[in-house]
Chain A
Amino acid sequence: MFKKDLGLLVLIIVIGTAVALINERFLLPGNLSNTANQVGLFGLFSIGEAFVIITGGIELSVGSLIALLGAIFIDLIVNHNVNWMLAVAIIVAGGCVLGAIHGLLITRMHLQPFVVTLCGLLIYRGIARYYTQDATAGFGFGVSFPTLEWLTAGRSEILSPFARLVGYYGPTIALPHSLIALIIVAIIAGVVLHRSIFGRYLFAVGKNEEAARYSGINSDRIVVSAYVICSGLAAVAAIFIAMYTRSISPAVHGSFYELYAIAAAVLGGCSLRGGEGSILGVVLGTILLQVLQNLVNLLGIPSSLNFAVMGTVILIGVLADQQFMRYRQRAASERGRVRAGSPAPEAAE
């Protein structure tokens, strides 16, 4: 697990270095800060997606959910004067309820996750467009929510005290609060997934649902929880994204985001068969995707090629990973040959 993450980190550094060498603007604090913000926003819902993928499911409605919940959120605080804290609670609760419905349809009605969430993708997009009458939802002139804006879209130079400690007084990168939110969520998710009983159950259900059931695990409840977590995090992301973009065109807002999430999860070591994956991997996967996005912009590649570049890199990455695994297996068997008779090296977890 760890080696896989390390490989991804190396890939990010290599690509980052290459971009920085070709175009030094990559390392400008402003650019890094913007990229970090993107990582924060996309990372939030990619982590949710990973929970679902680990149970062996898939969640395709993330993008539409972000559009629908984002539009409702803005409508609540701008047009209905709902207190923003209450609005946040309503949106997150709404996301969780929709996730629970997905989970129940999958476990109780025995529908396939792909089908259920594909319908969600269509339904939520349709409702978002109807709800806003296909008009762009946004903040009117002069409407402002200083605390909320600072919390979600603000940036803090919290790195500068540390920089001063080492004798650096120049400008530092302003850390976007979305990234700080991601770090907090990632730490919690990492502990839940890799250290807690619930995390063990998630992996167990993903690896072999029947065996999990025979071990007394209520696998239906675990699966539903995964969808609740996924849609709940999508709701959180929806608020951050809405506050960042400040306007929502319901037809395109958040479209394809579920694919970014799936791509980040797969790059980060999740298997679509379930039972595999790590939070660190998903975060690194998100970073890689955003660095690639940045690369397209900075290297003057036509932005219409954006998806093509990303698809190619993911394909190469997955291929390289597979070859690397084969190489390692071969190396392991060579080692076994040399020291046959002695106990085998401990299997990597």
Chain B
Amino acid sequence: MVFLELVDIAKRYPGVVALDRVTLSVAPGEVIGLIGENGAGKSTLMKVLGGVIEPSAGAIRVDGVERKPFTVGDAIKAGIAFVHQELNVFDNLDAAANVFIGREPLAGGFLRLIDRKRLYAAVKPLLDRLGVDFAPDTLVAEMSLAQRQLLEIAKALSLSARLVIMDEPTSSLTLSETERLMRVIDGLKKQGVSVIFISHRLNEVQTCADRVVVLRDGRMVGELDRSAVTHDAMIRLMIGRELKALYIPPASERPNGTTLEIEGVRTTAYPDRVVSLEVCGGEILGLAGLVGSGRTELARAVFGIDPLRSGGLKMNGEPIEIHGPREAIDRGIFLVPEDRKRAGLLLDSSIARNISLPDLRSYARGLLVRNQAELDNAARQKKRLNIKAPSVKAEVGTLSGGNQQKVVLAKWLSMRPKVIIFDEPTRGIDVGAKHEIYEIMRALANSGVAVLMISSDMEEVIGVSDRIAVMQEGRISGFLDRPEFSEHNVLRLAVGMRPGP
């Protein structure tokens, strides 16, 4: 008994195949886990299901009847409802008003007043069905994220949804809230409502899904039955190969590299805290700490974006003065910024023009830029870093996050780096590209570059670094060498405690 069928759905954009003959059927009361790396086509598939985009080929059948075109209205009529990552609720209204927004029971004739009594009466059973812990007249502003999510599910039920699609529903939930959501999903299932559960958290997918569908590069690469769902199996399908260990040991010979010393530096964020730090050529120093501990500000100060309040920098023991990014760049100190779209790239310029920007003088004869030299170098970098794009003239904004980050790296790798600071280098980047970036970092270190990696991703800090420095409220609270690496120790330092035994 299948109520919704997608047959050979394809979606093509110029140069990109977002979906390639995806076939998916949904039976009532079935929970389907949908997983895949960023850019695998999950959101495109969901947009097709919601009627937001029209597939280039393929058929959508509801209860055996083909619907073409399949519009947003058709999706709602078919009983498909979404619970989005960014919740679409109105803070200033109460729970009941949100559930029936736009469909309020009316009274008072032409005055079109809202009939609150009927409204609450209609919402109450929906909330009961989900077993929620808030009343219909609770203001959304006072509700937790988890409660708001349940409210969205209630809204879906009020539209007599037969399929609820949840996109990363647990990304901001606590453990107990997640458990409750799992129970709600179980309840929906018993009432014959199907769920498509999209998540990067494989534990949860394993817990709740009857069946797991894996997308990769727009194709359905596998389907796992409940009995076959394991972490290894899911990861293998998602990346198409065995996951390599993160840590790449340094070359046995320590290269002669540049050492950067940060001595007694005060930044504008924490003017009363002093930071001293040394990064040696050949090593990857992880800089861990909680968000707001002053790591990005330290990086900005070293790169010359913000002035130093006190202290100074030394390269190979020689004191240096840096008054702006230009001076830092001329000395071979580069920064891969945290927010690549805002600070790293010109999104509507080509790959080639982004790569050459900090070093245009090397591509110029006199004052005029030689386009060919620029394109040649871009092509070399594209190949070396495996940047996936139709050509080096493609606009950077059209690339995926991982490829955009590689363009930022290509900028600096085209020059002669001595010290590179990576600020959250793999945020929002899929697993495959992440690993490539780690390899690039290691190759840089092996060639004698001092690498400072700011990261809030514990797995990354512990997995990639040779040494870890931890910041806490604007100061360095401690250093860890590889034998001492543990999540526990990093966290203790991050909150200002001594590392454990």
Contact = CB atoms under 8 A, between A and B. Distances in A.
Interface of A: 191, 195-198, 200-201, 203-204, 207-208, 210-218, 275, 332-333, 335-337, 340-341, 343-347, 349
Contacts, number: 109
B345 A196 contact: no
A186 to B, nearest CB: 17
Contacts of B348: 207, 275
Nearest to A207: B346
Given A197-B367, A332-B14, A347 B343 contact: no
Given A344-B16, A347-B350, A208 B326 contact: no
Most chain B CB within 10 A, of A196, A198, A216, is at A216
Q: Which 3 residue pairs are nearest across A and B when measured between Cβ atoms? A: A344-B15, A336-B14, A340-B12
Contact of B390 (A215, A340, A347): A347
B191 interface: no
B24 interface: no
A214 B337 contact: yes
Contacts of B16: 336, 344
B391 A215 contact: no
A81 to B, nearest CB: 39
B85 interface: no
Contact of A196 (B347, B368, B411): B368
A191 B366 CA distance: 13
A346 B351 CA distance: 12
Given A197-B367, A340-B12, A216 B325 contact: yes
A346 B369 CA distance: 21
Given A214-B343, A345-B15, 5 more contacts: A195-B368, A196-B367, A336-B15, A344-B16, A346-B394
Contact of B343 (A207, A210, A217, A344): A210
A285 B12 CA distance: 37
B412 to A, nearest CB: 10
A221 to B, nearest CB: 10
A191 B367 CA distance: 10
Contacts of B358: 215-217
A204 B369 contact: no
Nearest to A345: B14
30 contacts: A197-B364, A198-B367, A203-B349, A204-B349, A207-B346, A207-B348, A208-B346, A212-B346, A214-B337, A215-B325, A215-B329, A215-B357, A216-B324, A216-B328, A217-B358, A218-B326, A333-B13, A336-B12, A336-B14, A337-B12, A341-B17, A343-B15, A343-B390, A344-B390, A345-B14, A345-B15, A346-B391, A346-B393, A346-B394, A347-B390
Contacts of B345: 208, 211
Contact of A208 (B17, B328, B347, B361): B347
Interface of B: 10, 12-17, 56, 303, 305, 324-326, 328-330, 335, 337, 342-350, 353, 356-358, 360-361, 364, 367-369, 390-391, 393-395, 398, 411
A214 B368 contact: no
Given A204-B357, A208-B345, A347-B390, A197 B15 contact: no
Contacts of A340: 10, 12, 17, 56
Given A198-B367, A212-B357, A215-B411, A204 B346 contact: yes
A47 B395 CA distance: 27
B361 A211 contact: no
A349 B346 contact: no
B391 A337 contact: no
Contact of A347 (B326, B356, B369, B394): B394
A335 B345 CA distance: 28
B19 to A, nearest CB: 11
Nearest to A334: B14
B96 to A, nearest CB: 42
Contacts of A349: 350, 393
B394 A336 contact: no
A245 B394 CA distance: 49
Contacts of A212: 346, 357
Nearest to A348: B393
A346 B361 CA distance: 26
Most chain B CB within 10 A, of A196, A210, A215, A275, is at A215
B391 A216 contact: no
Given A207-B349, A214-B325, A346-B390, A197 B342 contact: no
Nearest to B349: A207
Nearest to A342: B15
A335 B15 CA distance: 10
A200 B391 contact: no
A213 B17 contact: no
Contacts of B398: 347
A203 B360 CA distance: 13
B350 A211 contact: no
Given A207-B346, A347-B395, A218 B369 contact: no
Nearest to B412: A215
A213 B303 CA distance: 11
A211 B394 CA distance: 18
A337 to B, nearest CB: 5
A330 to B, nearest CB: 11
A196 B15 contact: no
B360 A347 contact: no
A57 B366 CA distance: 28
A211 B342 contact: yes
Contacts of A215: 325, 329, 357-358, 411
B390 A211 contact: no
Most chain A CB within 10 A, of B349, B364, B395, is at B349
A200 B349 CA distance: 11
A198 B368 CA distance: 9
B424 to A, nearest CB: 14
A340 B348 CA distance: 24
Contacts of A275: 346, 348
Most chain A CB within 10 A, of B17, B346, B361, B394, is at B346
Contacts of B12: 336-337, 340
Given A196-B369, A214-B344, A335 B14 contact: yes
Given A213-B305, A349-B350, A218 B324 contact: yes
Contacts of B395: 347
A191 to B, nearest CB: 7
A200 B350 contact: no
Contact of A216 (B326, B346, B368, B390): B326
Nearest to B411: A215
B367 A347 contact: no
A211 B344 contact: yes
Contact of B360 (A191, A197, A344): A197
A337 B58 CA distance: 13
A343 B394 CA distance: 12
A337 B56 contact: yes
Nearest to B352: A349
Contacts of B353: 200
Nearest to B348: A207
Contacts of A216: 324-326, 328-330, 358
A347 B352 CA distance: 12
A212 B305 CA distance: 12
B346 A211 contact: yes
A213 B361 CA distance: 16
Contacts of A195: 368-369
